[in-house]
């Protein structure tokens, strides 16, 4: 079997002829300068350098590949393994092999080794990932919807689009997508700092993002570097951007437009070099219409939004069983059962497919982890799948004729928050703990949904 795509770098015709029999598609790049565009476009399975490509150029290719977490094997033809001018050795930098001469037999042997390693890697988890998914991205799914999202992630990451917006319901994989965009753009070694805009009060969030100078407010007893600065040339991830207070939204807009900001209480302009990725599980346009989100910020953010479809949507539901299998194979709670549980019974699989998954991949993962823990046989059965029966697709199908039935997540969230507050006797700390959120988030949700304490309700209705 030939390697699907080989890219030959350099103008040497003999090297191109040498590589041709080993591939279905041969590509060439004249030199190292136009190699990256070809790599991003073609995604070769092997890069071959001809003898005329300078050793230092190959070194810089290998270093950049590592930085970008690219796992494409490369071979240098006719290059000795000697060190480059600054002491770098190609093998140390990760070249797969260096061949002394243009010998088809030798090249064939090296390609066989590359294929054997690839087959070995593929025998594990690779069925879970789409062909469009770069090796550095671990997003399970082969459905049309996830393919579209991954394609968008790649396009955005390879462009210089900044800021990047990721939208989708809770648990659809927005944080995973943000990390993927970061890794494709900056490599896995670069800094990725995340901040949840719903989890902090306005003042704290401001000093967290921008930093503050000493004495700028009562408890500012020393200077603080903000996350925008800390992210350096990596990525800052603003999770749940819709929860950012309006006055901070204005400050963020300035950063996005002018790429500069000031610490709280500071007078020095600081340059922001980081990629800014924001995520939201709310409909931001609706937030704009309702006056909770700045329209100008919305337009600035949504240049090329990456959308993650809910699991129940028709073009993503094929991923449900694939994800379930993946979580069975990669259990984090019960790793000792990995390999013992082989899959799901037919009935269990059918029921997973029927469920609406309001919590999306996160909910699916939790359901599977719990089932793994409870299951004693080698297949997860229906009895150990704890899914809320009211949320089955069948229920929604019968509800289709009754449009008043409200399946919206917002409604469910509002009810849950109200219920927790009720049970906690309106003690916010207790209610927040029951919901697994911070007090600040709880306050934000109470305000957002206009949830009122019982005595207030009486007063209003009286
Ligand atoms: N395609 C996927 N493949 C594998 N795991 C996934 C995938 N999508 C999401 N997950 C897992 O599901 C969980 C939730 O994902 P993530 O935190 O990225 O969701 P989210 O959209 O940011 O949710 P929220 O809006 O609630 O913050 C994580 O454990 C994540 O690893
Ligand atoms: Mg998230």
Do residues 110 and 161 both lie within one domain? no
pLDDT of residue 181: 95
Binding site membership of 141 for ligand 1 (Cβ less than 6 Å): yes
pLDDT tens sequence across 93-131: 888 888 888 899 999 999 988 888 776 665 566 789 988
Ligand 1 mean position to 103 CA, how many Å? 48
CATH number, position 381: 1.10.8.60
pLDDT of residue 69: 67
Q: How many domains does the chain have?
A: 4
Give the closest residue to 231 by CA, choosing from 298, 186, 282.
Answer: 186
Which residue's CA lies nearest to atom 18 of ligand 1? 173
Binding site membership of 65 for ligand 1 (Cβ less than 6 Å): no
pLDDT of residue 458: 34
Residue 289 maps to a domain: yes
Residue 137 maps to a domain: no
Do residues 170 and 284 both lie within one domain? yes
What mean pLDDT is predicted for residues 198-208? Answer: 89
Structure tokens, 156? 């955005």
Residue 376 maps to a domain: yes
Binding site membership of 176 for ligand 1 (Cβ less than 6 Å): yes
Do residues 236 and 337 both lie within one domain? no
Q: State if pTM tops 0.85.
A: no
Do residues 378 and 413 both lie within one domain? no
Binding site membership of 211 for ligand 1 (Cβ less than 6 Å): no
Binding site membership of 172 for ligand 1 (Cβ less than 6 Å): yes
Query: Which residues on adjacent β-strands are paired with residue 280?
Result: 167
Q: Determine the Cα–Cα distance for residues 421 and 434; give it in Å rounded to an integer.
A: 9
CATH number, position 182: 3.40.50.300
Do residues 300 and 358 both lie within one domain? no
Do residues 82 and 27 both lie within one domain? yes
Confidence of residue 453 (pLDDT cuts 50, 70, 90): confident
Do residues 358 and 420 both lie within one domain? no
What mean pLDDT is predicted for residues 161-176? Answer: 96
Choosing from 308, 329, 356, the residue where a domain stops is: 308
Residue 128 maps to a domain: no
Do residues 172 and 273 both lie within one domain? yes
Do residues 263 and 376 both lie within one domain? no
Region of poorest pLDDT, from 35-44, 56-65, 386-395: 386-395
pLDDT tens sequence across 77-98: 986 555 555 667 888 888 888 8
What mean pLDDT is predicted for residues 291-295? Answer: 95
Binding site membership of 371 for ligand 1 (Cβ less than 6 Å): no
Region of poorest pLDDT, from 69-73, 100-104, 367-371: 69-73
CATH number, position 83: 3.40.50.2300
pLDDT of residue 311: 96
Are 81 and 91 in contact by the 8 Å Cβ rule? The answer is yes
More confident residue, 4 or 20: 20
Q: Determine the Cα–Cα distance for residues 456 and 451; give it in Å rounded to an integer.
A: 10
**36: containing domain:** 3-122
Region of poorest pLDDT, from 224-238, 382-396, 429-443: 382-396
Mean pLDDT of the chain: 86
Ligand 1 mean position to 6 CA, how many Å? 34
pLDDT of residue 214: 87
Structure tokens, 54? 């300078």
Which residue's CA lies nearest to atom 25 of ligand 1? 170
Rank 32-41, 42-51, 148-157, 446-455 by mean pLDDT and report only the highest: 148-157
pLDDT of residue 125: 67
Residue 115 maps to a domain: yes
Do residues 16 and 104 both lie within one domain? yes
Choosing from 361, 377, 399, the residue where a domain stops is: 399
Do residues 365 and 251 both lie within one domain? no
Are 184 and 134 in contact by the 8 Å Cβ rule? The answer is yes
CATH number, position 444: 1.10.10
pLDDT tens sequence across 297-349: 999 999 999 999 999 999 999 999 999 999 999 887 777 777 789 899 999 99
Residue 199 maps to a domain: yes
Whether the pLDDT of residue 459 is over 60: the answer is no
Mutate to test the pocket of ligand 1, among 145, 165, 176 (most ligand atoms within 8 A of CB): 176
Binding site membership of 361 for ligand 1 (Cβ less than 6 Å): yes
Do residues 112 and 201 both lie within one domain? no
Residue 130 maps to a domain: no
Choosing from 380, 399, 418, the residue where a domain stops is: 399
Ligand 1 mean position to 240 CA, how many Å? 14
Structure tokens, 270? 């600081």
Residue 171 maps to a domain: yes
pLDDT tens sequence across 6-48: 999 999 999 999 999 998 888 999 888 878 888 877 778 899 9
């Amino acid at each position: 079997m030939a390697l699907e795509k080989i890219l030959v770098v350099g103008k040497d015709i003999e090297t191109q002829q040498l590589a041709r029999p080993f591939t279905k598609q041969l590509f060439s790049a004249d030199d190292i300068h136009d190699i990256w565009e070809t790599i991003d476009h073609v995604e070769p399975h092997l890069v071959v350098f001809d003898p005329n490509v300078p050793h230092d150029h190959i070194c810089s290719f290998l270093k950049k590949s590592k930085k970008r977490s690219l796992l494409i094997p490369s071979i240098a033809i006719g290059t000795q393994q000697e060190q480059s001018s600054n002491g770098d050795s190609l093998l140390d930098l990760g070249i797969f092999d260096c061949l002394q001469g243009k010998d088809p037999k030798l090249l064939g042997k090296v390609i066989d080794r590359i294929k054997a390693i690839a087959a070995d890697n593929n025998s594990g988890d690779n069925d879970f990932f789409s062909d469009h998914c770069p090796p550095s991205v671990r997003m399970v799914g082969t459905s049309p919807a996830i393919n579209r999202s991954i394609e968008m992630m790649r396009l955005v990451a390879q462009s210089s689009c900044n800021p990047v917006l990721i939208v989708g319901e809770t648990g659809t994989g927005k944080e995973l997508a943000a990390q993927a965009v970061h890794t494709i753009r900056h490599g896995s070694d670069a800094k990725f700092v995340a901040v949840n805009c719903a989890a902090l009060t306005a003042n704290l969030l401001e000093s967290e993002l921008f930093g503050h100078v000493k004495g700028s407010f009562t408890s500012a007893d020393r200077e603080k570097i903000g996350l925008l600065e800390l992210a350096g040339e990596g990525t800052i991830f603003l999770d749940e951007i819709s929860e950012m207070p309006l006055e901070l939204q204005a400050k963020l807009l300035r950063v996005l437009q002018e790429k500069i900001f000031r610490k709280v209480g500071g007078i020095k302009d600081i340059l922001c070099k980081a990629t800014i990725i924001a995520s939201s599980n709310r409909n931001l346009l609706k937030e704009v219409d309702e006056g909770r989100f700045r329209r100008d910020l919305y337009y600035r953010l949504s240049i090329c939004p990456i959308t993650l479809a809910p699991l129940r949507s028709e073009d993503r539901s094929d991923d449900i069983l694939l994800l379930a299998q993946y979580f069975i194979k990669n259990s984090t709670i019960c790793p000792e059962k990995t390999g013992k549980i082989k899959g799901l019974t037919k009935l269990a699989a059918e029921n997973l497919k029927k469920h609406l998954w309001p919590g999306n991949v996160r909910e699916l993962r939790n359901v599977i982890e719990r089932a793994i823990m409870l299951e004693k046989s080698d297949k997860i059965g229906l009895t150990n799948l704890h899914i809320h029966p009211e949320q089955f697709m069948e229920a929604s199908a019968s509800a289709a004729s009754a449009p008043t039935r409200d399946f919206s997540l917002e409604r469910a969230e509002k009810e849950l928050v109200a219920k927790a507050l009720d049970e906690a006797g309106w003690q916010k700390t207790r209610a927040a703990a029951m919901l697994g959120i911070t007090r600040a988030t709880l306050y934000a949700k109470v305000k957002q949904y206009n949830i009122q304490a019982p005595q207030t309700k009486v007063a209003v209705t009286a």
